[in-house]
A and B are shown apart, each in its own frame.
Chain A
Amino acid sequence: MSTITEPATATRTLANQYFAGLARWSIWEILFWAALVGLFFVPDANLPLYGQIVIWGLFAMSLDLLLGYRGIPSLGHAAFFGIGGYAAGYLGKFGWTEPISGLVIAALLAGIIGWLTGRLIQRVSGIALLMVTLGLNLILYDIVHRQSGLTGGDDGLQGIEIAPVLGLFRFDIFGRTAYLYALAITFVLFLVARALVKSPFGLALLGARENPRRMIMLGAPLERDVTTVFAIAAAFAGAAGAVLTQTTQFVSPTALSFQRSADVLVILIIGGTGRLYGGFVGAFVFLFLRDWLAELSPVYWYFWIGLLLVVMVAFFRNGIVPSLETLVGRLRRR
């Protein structure tokens, strides 16, 4: 009897040790989040911009779950950002002004729609996948854009009211509450995403990214996993959209435009996929660069963004965070 159970428990202990090792926090991670909190205390900091960066980082992280960990590119991720944003907007407009529950509802709605989309795309790949995600994004944008009676069209949704967070902290014009609110929500969702990618489910995703055929042989439910991760990524994107709507008390069709889908992809690629942090680093670089370049040459700044993209994919195909990791690893070995 014991001869059978003993190896099993031994394997279990090994597995537990393995996952515990995976979940260990490195000093860089702690420094990263400490720095984000520290930004709040810097005098004269441009908190509205930092708030934007955190929200874009969360949005890019949601795409990272899909692209970085499962290898599914999406050209229409802004659709879920927009669904979350509009859901939060409507809730605020029609009297549900409590922000946290509003955010949860918005994220759930985006997640449900993401789950349905995931069901639709779970067997499609390659160009067809890009076209389906792009097409769905365009359809949604078209609907929101044209039903101006319901959505306000290009003028956006007006009259959104958001109550103070926890009944204590009002959203002020300096963006102080907004920054901390966005940071807190992002950190909580980051913890969830981190736990997810370091769980057996996360490893199954990675396995399916690397070698789908082998994973089928191992008995992994590939298509179900695709749907699940799509739903989770959509819910996170929806949460990002909801935070943006709540902190700015405004949402317009640009929230779900193709431009936004492209931007978030660019941000994630600049930062690097498959690290969860790539999106944040990418958002930091992209938004700062955009601000700076737009000031430098208001009309032609897209030239430099384009050049950055070309140079990135030509020479740093992995993105900033993975490149830094290799660099640090090399220095350490010396």
Chain B
Amino acid sequence: MATIATVLFNGVAYGMLLFIMSVGLSVTMGMMNFVNLAHASFSMLGGYVLVVVTQQLGLPFLVSLPLAFIIAGLVSIILERTVFRYFYGTDDLTQVLLTLGLIFMSIAIVTYFWGGTYQQISVPPWFTGQQDVFGLTLERYRMFLVAVGAVLAVVMIFGLERTRFGACVRACVDNARVARACGLNTELVFAVTFAIGGGLAGLAGALSANLLGIDPNFPLRYLVYLLIVVSVGGMGTITGTLVAALLLGVADVAGKYYAPEIGGFVIYTITVLVMLWRPHGLMGRRA
């Protein structure tokens, strides 16, 4: 019983990471129909911001997290303004190839500066080790992850449902053309959403560096997970992304724990079946 609960908990922690990593992609894909594979590179960028800030500048871990968010957000808004916005009207395949090219470039750039090996990450001592909660022994760092993920999920769902900017975002997801016709500055909404999404990806990269490790192949390794979360959850929905990320996290951890020999088979099969059953995702609305 205790092992089941621990596996479940670890799965939820992993799922929270996937949620923070992919929620921006989900919203921007729902909004602009833009398939941005380079979103995974933003996560890697966040991870390397953490490496530079904590190892080379010697600043504390908690300072590096907002920095990862800000820098990844800045880079994503620069890319959005200079490159991506010229590709909003093109087909899925063109966007896939464009952003795949950007991933290749990001991998080479990172290898050039930091080499191809895994980076050593050290977290503050109060994050390491385990803690007894309700008779379960849980890792402190994973508890921190679950807390951060839960707070972010609540903030985002609340922000989307209750704030003015959230209403603008929802309007753009539902029908960008009509939103523009109503006088909404959709370009601005796109750009800000893109920056927030990219920043969250960077934050997730920094948070995951300790758990998943950070190296130049990070984007290619987690790209498939990102795509699975976004497509299974349904583009443009935050709750859908959360549900899909938690499902995937638990399924992956449980699969690796109980049946390591079948590997990724379970999650890939679930993905294919969900996509055949509901092509717009579990919570996606029909486009």
Q: Measuring CB to CB, which residues of chain A are less than 8 angstroms from any residue of chain B? A: 67, 73, 75, 120, 124-128, 130-132, 134-136, 138-139, 142-143, 145-146, 258, 262, 265-266, 269, 299-303, 305-310, 312-314, 317
A125 contacts across to B, CB distance below 8 A: 279
Cα separation A258 to B275 with both chains bound (whole Å): 19
Total A-B contacts with CB atoms under 8 angstroms apart? 122
Contact indicator A303/B104 (Cβ below 8 Å): yes
A73 with B93: CB separation less than 8 A = yes
A307 interface neighbour in B105, B224, B268, Cβ under 8 Å: B105
The 8 Å CB contact of B263, one of A130, A146, A317, is A146
A313 and B101 contact, CB distance less than 8 A: yes
Bound CA span A299–B111, Å: 8
B277 smallest CB distance to A (angstroms): 10
* Contact assessment for A308 and B279 in the assembled complex, using a CB-CB cutoff below 8 Å: no
> Would you call B231 and A127 a contact (CB within 8 A)?
yes
CB-CB under 8 A for A306 and B276, given A299-B111, A317-B94: no
Q: Does B261 reach chain A (CB closer than 8 Å)?
A: yes
Main secondary structure of the interface of A (DSSP, over half): helix
**A313 x B228 contact (CB < 8 A):** no
Whole-angstrom distance between the Cβ of A286 and the nearest chain B Cβ = 13
User: Is chain B's interface secondary structure helix, strand, loop, or mixed overall?
Assistant: helix
Chain B residues at the A interface, C-beta cutoff of 8 Å? 29, 35, 83, 86-87, 90, 92-94, 96-98, 100-109, 111-112, 116, 224, 227-228, 231, 235, 261-265, 268-269, 271-272, 275-276, 279-280, 287
The listed residue with most B CB atoms (<10 A of its CB), out of A67, A305, A310, is: A310
Can you list 14 A-B pairs with a CB-CB distance of less than 8 A? A120-B276, A125-B279, A127-B29, A131-B275, A135-B272, A138-B224, A138-B264, A266-B100, A299-B111, A299-B116, A303-B107, A307-B105, A309-B98, A309-B101
Beta-carbon contact of A127 and B276 below 8 Å: no
A139-B265, A314-B98 as given contacts; A303 in contact with B271, CB under 8 Å: no
A127 and B35 in contact, given A143-B265, A299-B111 (Cβ under 8 angstroms): yes
Are B235 and A136 in contact, CB atoms less than 8 angstroms apart? Answer: no
| Residue from B86, B97, B235, B272 within 8 A of A132 (CB atoms) | B272
Partner of B227, one of A120, A131, A266: A131
**Inter-chain contacts of B235 with A (CB < 8 A):** 127
Q: Which of A124, A142, A265, A306 contacts B265 (CB 8 A)?
A: A142
Q: Is the CB of A124 within 8 A of B276?
A: yes
**A299 nearest in chain B by CB position:** B111
A124 (CB) vs chain B CBs: closest residue: B279
Distance in Å from the Cβ of B14 to the closest Cβ of chain A?
19
In the complex formed, the residue of A with least CB distance to B231 is A131
